[in-house]
Amino acid sequence: MRRFSRAPLLPEAGQGGAPLTAVIAVISSLACLALAAFILIASASNAWTDELKSSFTIQVKGVDAEEIGERLKSAQEILSSTPGVENIKVVESKDAAKLLEPWLGKGNADALNVPALIEVKLNKEAQTDVAALSERLQSISPGVILDDHGGWNDRLADAARSGQALAFAVFALIMGAACAISIFAARAGLSANQEVVSLLHLVGATDDFIAREVQRRFTVIGLRGSMLGLLAATFLLTLFSFATRARGGEGFFLPGLTIGPELLIPLLSVPFAICLVTAIAARLTVLRTLRETY
């Protein structure tokens, strides 16, 4: 007994099937990279702000080295008695002079009365009242200044938000490009198969039936291409992860990238989103074209 398999009414791929799959793969990989950039910027911003919030610097000024030493000792005593202070580090005068070399030149800082610096690390779980601590330090002298890096924190947060907005805009443009390509490909497919579509209309096929056939084809092509794009993006992100680890865990002022669930789960949504966009765009395009033609 001869068996018959169900063949598609419209060509499954045609001459444009492979190029369309390749284009969708490129679009999917770019969308994944844009989404990964959004997630990486958010992770880096959180790491930076947490680090800045858990540390601050104290600058101790004085008219001479003796006065600076006395104020430095008093500041250390206050810090030692403050709950939540985890580590206190006095920056050596030679290290402080090196920080000023780009502006003053080498060896010129020795002739100046360079203020002493104290680096303070806080326990992240402890609730330290930094404002009250600043007032206690000011009671020693107005020359004892606490810098909680608030200005830097705000600038980093603004820069991170700008970077995230840019990454999201790129992602939206890529999704728009996927929609536009689907519309163009659907119209080209209908034009190439005009005789088949006309024959289907003659035998009583509805516009919705033909649109479903085209939608099924674009769903398959979209899913195939977007999954290839996801694999390509994952490969590139893995290379970037290895590169940052080779540089000591950081690269381009960003923390080391770890390919974990917090990154893979959002990336897995990209192929399905692109598949959905291409399928819906193709269906709506076919319905509109058929209504205008027949």
What confidence score (pLDDT) does residue 290 get? Answer: 86
Q: Give the pLDDT confidence of 42-83 residue by residue, as tens digits.
A: 888 887 787 777 888 888 888 787 888 888 888 888 888 888
Q: Identify the pLDDT of residue 227.
A: 95
- How far apart CA 83 and CA 96 sit, in angstroms, is 27
Which pTM value belongs to this model?
A: 0.75
- Would you say residue 28 has pLDDT above 90? yes
For residue range 194-245, list pLDDT tens digits in order: 888 888 878 888 888 888 888 988 999 999 999 999 999 999 998 888 877 7
Region for residue 252 given its phi and psi (left: phi exceeds 0; alpha: psi -120 to 50; beta: otherwise): left
Strand order in the sheet with 55-60: 85-91, 116-122, 55-60, 144-147
pLDDT at 107: 63
DSSP for 114-156, please give it. Answer: PPEEEEEEE-TTS---HHHHHHHHHHH-TTEEEE--HHHHHHH
Indicate if the pLDDT at residue 11 is higher than 90.
Answer: no
Burial 54-63 (b: 16+ CB within 10 A, else e): bbbebbbbbe
Specify the higher pLDDT residue, 1 or 89.
89
Q: Please, what is the angle between helix 17-53 and helix 207-246, to 10°?
A: 50
Q: What is the pLDDT of residues 238-290, one digit of tens each?
A: 888 887 776 655 555 555 566 778 888 999 999 999 999 999 999 999 999 88
The confidence score (pLDDT) of residue 164 equals 93
16: pLDDT confidence band, cut at 50, 70 and 90? low
Residue 24, pLDDT score: 94
Structural domain spans, the chain: 17-49+153-293, 62-142
